[in-house]
Amino acid sequence: MSSGPPIVNAARIVKRYGAVAALSDLNLRVMPGDVYGLLGPNGAGKTTTLRILSALETPTSGSVRVVGYDPVSRKVEVKRRTGYVPETALLYESLTPREYFEFVASTRELDSRVRDRIAQLASVFDIGGRLDVPIGSLSMGTKQKISIIAAMMHRPSLLLLDEPLNGLDAKSSRILKELILLHVESGGAVIFSTHVMEVAESVCTRIGIINGGRIVAEGTVDELRGLSDGRGRSLEDIYLKFTNEEEFIASAVAKLRQGVPNGPG
Ligand SMILES: Nc1ncnc2c1ncn2[C@@H]1O[C@H](COP(=O)(O)OP(=O)(O)O)[C@@H](O)[C@H]1O
Ligand SMILES: [Mg+2]
């Protein structure tokens, strides 16, 4: 359960790219033990949020603390305590997974114990036999697993996962869920973005719905249900309501139903 100081404490984050405001006044507090699901439409600001928390992107303004450190001025401390899985695995295609892990471990100055952790993760993801072939020859799902292993091998306090189930089969998705649960049981926290409502509902302790660069609703699924004033609604219904997409969908469906001049065939 939540105890101790927050792992993420971010207040009024603004991130501008020229004229585009990717984040406007985003507030986020994540405690040890939290699995925080970030749900939002394309372009809502999910990736930008995760990149700021992993010290890969600098906010335009606002205050951010990750495990007590400011990711702008204390990048190294933050990178040591976070593990980030990007939306699309960016790996060195000519290296083998083993070489890549060694490389990542050396940049983080990790000791040899990390090898046991890598071996354990490779074994639970069932890729032990693929550690010595070039990454470029691997499937998308295997690349995703490598990216997850690289993010977890230094046992960070905070895992930041950008649509981590992309490309994973059912078995590997289940393994990832178990890894997430174990991670928070031992006092860590996880923030992950997803479009898969069932996953969010099954693993998240809290969900934040993000739209237009700010969190528009937050809470447990039951709390969100209460906020949206709709008992018994699915998370998908709640999500579509908070992102104002119900009307769009209703009108799109109406158009599809009436405007079919020539049916199939
Ligand atoms: N490097 C960038 N340069 C310009 N605009 C960007 C950049 N990164 C993100 N954006 C813009 O910021 C907004 C939020 O993007 P992003 O965080 O990637 O959203 P999400 O991950 O929720 O789909 C979008 O309008 C996107 O086009
Ligand atoms: Mg994204």
C-alpha 85, offset from chain centre:
7
How many angstroms separate the alpha carbon of residue 197 from the centre of ligand 2?
Answer: 16
Strand pairing of 158-162 and 8-17? unpaired
For the CA of 48, the closest atom of ligand 1 is 17
| 67 within a domain of the structure (yes/no) | yes
How many angstroms separate the alpha carbon of residue 46 from the centre of ligand 1?
Answer: 8
If one residue of 17, 88, 215 were mutated to test the ligand 1 pocket, choosing by the most ligand atoms within 8 A of its CB, it would be 17
Tell me which residue range forms the domain holding 230: 8-258
Evaluate whether 123 touches 189 at the Cβ level (below 8 Å): no
How many domains, the chain?
Answer: 1
Q: Write down the H helix ranges in 211-262.
A: 221-227, 235-242, 246-258
pLDDT for 35: 98
| 2 within a domain of the structure (yes/no) | no
SS3 call for 43: coil
For the CA of 41, the closest atom of ligand 1 is 22
Evaluate whether 60 touches 31 at the Cβ level (below 8 Å): no
- What long-range pairs does 20-24 form, CB within 8 A, spacing at least 24? 21/213, 22/48, 22/213, 23/48, 23/49, 23/52, 23/59, 23/213, 23/214, 24/212, 24/213, 24/214
| 254 within a domain of the structure (yes/no) | yes
One pLDDT digit (tens) per residue for the chain, 265 residues: 456 899 999 999 999 999 999 999 999 999 999 999 999 999 999 999 999 999 999 999 999 999 999 999 999 999 999 999 999 887 889 999 999 999 998 887 777 788 899 999 999 999 999 999 999 999 999 999 999 999 999 999 999 999 999 889 999 999 999 999 999 999 999 999 999 999 999 999 999 999 999 999 999 998 998 887 766 688 998 899 889 888 888 899 999 998 666 666 6
**Beta carbon of 42 within 6 Å of any ligand 1 atom:** yes
SS3 call for 115: helix
How many angstroms separate the alpha carbon of residue 78 from the centre of ligand 1?
Answer: 22
CATH number at residue 210: 3.40.50.300
How far apart CA 91 and CA 99 sit, in angstroms, is 11
Q: Which of 194, 199, 214 is nearest to 45 (CA)?
A: 214
Evaluate whether 176 touches 148 at the Cβ level (below 8 Å): yes
Among the bound ligands, name the one nearest to the CA of residue 210.
1
| 46 within a domain of the structure (yes/no) | yes
| 264 within a domain of the structure (yes/no) | no
| 205 within a domain of the structure (yes/no) | yes
| 265 within a domain of the structure (yes/no) | no
| 195 within a domain of the structure (yes/no) | yes
